Amino acid sequence: MSPAQRPAPSETSGAVQTTPLRGITWRALFIGLLLVVPNAYWITVVEVRWYTLDGTSLPLFITPIFFLFWLVLLNMGMQRLLPRHASRLRLNQAELLTVYMVLVVGTLVAGHDMFQNLFGAIGHADRFATPENKWKTLFFPFLPSFWLVRDPEVLKAYYLGNVNPYDPRYWGPFVGPLCWWSLFIGTLIGICLCLNILIRTQWSENERLAFPIVQLPVAMTEESGRGMYCLVCIGSCHLDN
């Protein structure tokens, strides 16, 4: 091809230039953190208070899918009702998946065998230590005090109840240990997320693993909306039957 026949650099770059896709944005993080609160409350009421439907024991968490479902419906509504402003207001797929990831991490922390059991574990040793089992002499010297609740009156109120749970005298001693445990668990989750970044190329691009658990949220957040439409149709047919 002669130089005269070659496309100009500006024309070539303009042909392949696409709008940059926003990923982890501040508004996606804000929406995710905002939804973590009702999500954690919902999980606590259902799994701790009512002790039913251990949704956090399933491979695919239920509550993040529920919130993602309504966010996608909100996107579709803005696309139809506010077409002029939809491109600026609606969340793209990367932002929706960011919100979903934040909700999954929040569900993991509030879910089964995490903070649900941690509340009992941080006070169990002092509450059930007796002269007969000799816990105080056997392993109490190895327990870090800042990770545990040691006040006997607070532990008595926690295990027996019949007190005002909003009284700072009873929930205040839990704040310090929970902060230390939150720092530890947050660091652990951060390390796991960093490991995901390190192995993503090998697992996703080289070995091309399927990751079936993420197929549903990815399909729900497709820009075309076909995955969400199919999901609504399947759910409607299930309810009709």
Residue 163 domain boundaries = 114-209
pLDDT tens digits for the chain (241 residues)? 444 454 544 444 444 445 555 668 899 999 999 999 999 999 988 888 888 777 788 888 889 999 999 999 898 888 888 878 777 888 888 999 999 999 999 998 888 878 888 888 899 999 999 989 999 899 888 988 889 999 999 999 999 988 898 899 999 999 999 999 989 988 998 999 899 889 988 988 888 888 888 888 988 888 766 556 556 655 655 544 5
| Sign of the torsion angle spanned by Cα atoms 58, 63, 108, 196 | positive
Query: Is 56 inside any structural domain?
Result: no
Query: Is 24 inside any structural domain?
Result: no
Query: Is 125 inside any structural domain?
Result: yes
Query: Is 223 inside any structural domain?
Result: no
Query: Is 163 inside any structural domain?
Result: yes
In this prediction the pTM is 0.76
Half-sphere exposure of 215 (CA within 13 A, CB side): 6
Query: Is 232 inside any structural domain?
Result: no
Query: Is 15 inside any structural domain?
Result: no
- What pLDDT is stored for residue 102 in this prediction? 93
Give the helix/strand (H/E) hosting 15: helix 9-16
Query: Is 164 inside any structural domain?
Result: yes
Q: How many domains in the chain? A: 1
